[in-house]
Amino acid sequence: MAARSERGRGAAGGAAEEVVARLRGAEISGQFKAAFELIADVELGLAVPGNRELAPRDGPHGDAFCARSAAGSATAERCRAWQGATREAADRQTRTRPCFAGLGESAVPVRVGEKVVAPFEVGQVG
């Protein structure tokens, strides 16, 4: 049985990944992502809670510095830790924090009812 965090941020492991996969595949999520990226000209991603993988930054709205930094360097580890901390900070409300390189990183909690199931992430805002 999958454990739940104290804050109700979602099930651990595969259950959280399944919820995020379904949200990513939902038509309304795709429409929201496309509209946001068109208007804001920054990449929007949906993260798995507790996952420390870097958000993709190599799309048409991604930042070249972030994409290069994610290529397995020590900088990637700093980025991974920063994104993870920003995701964790967005447990109840939107959080925006400047990263070590001076760019902004934001996470917006996605809720199903009162339960936060995943954060939308936006980064590389200078």
Encode pLDDT of 79-92 as tens digits: 778 888 888 888 88
Where residue 56 falls among pLDDT bands split at 50, 70, 90?
A: low
Report yes or no on whether pTM surpasses 0.85: no
Looking at residue 10, its pLDDT comes to 42
Say if residues 115 and 6 touch (Cβ distance below 8 Å).
no
Looking at residue 2, its pLDDT comes to 35
Task: Tell me how far the alpha carbon of residue 28 is from its chain's centroid.
Answer: 17
Closest CA to 37 of 69, 66, 59: 59
Q: Which of 23-27, 37-41, 64-68, 99-103 is least confident?
A: 64-68
Say if residues 92 and 117 touch (Cβ distance below 8 Å).
no
List the structure tokens of 34. Answer: 């496309």
What count of other Cβ atoms lies within 10 Å of the Cβ of residue 3?
8
Looking at residue 27, its pLDDT comes to 94
